[in-house]
Amino acid sequence: MIEAGNVLFELIDSLETVDPSLPSAMRIALEEGITFYDSSYVAAAIESGCDLITDDTKLRKVAGSKVKTMGSSDLL
């Protein structure tokens, strides 16, 4: 159990934060009719060059035209 905890802490320590451009997130929200909250994830994925992983069907559909998306089941 302690080993699993150590692995979890190592994983958390290796995470990097991405701060999306607020103007980009706002533009995406207005263009796509989604919340600023959701658009910030899209903007962050675009700006960082990362895929967007979400199980939100609407967000995945909107984001799919801008960045590669996948659901959590695709990770297995």
- Tell which wins on pLDDT, 27 or 16: 27
As a whole number, mean pLDDT of residues 25-53 equals 96
Residue 24 to residues 2, 15, 47, 68, 69, Cα–Cα distance (Å): 42, 23, 9, 17, 18
User: Beta-carbon neighbour count of residue 25 at 10 Å?
Assistant: 22
Q: Which two tokens stand for residue 6?
A: 């150590």
| Domains along the chain with CATH numbers | 18-70 (3.40.50.1010)
Model confidence at 5: pLDDT above 80 = no
Q: Which helix (H) or strand (E) holds 37?
A: helix 36-48
pLDDT (mean) for 4-21: 84
Give pLDDT, residue 28: 97
Cα(3)–Cα(18) distance, integer angstroms: 29
Q: Which residue has the tokens 């706002």?
A: 26
> Mean pLDDT in the chain?
91
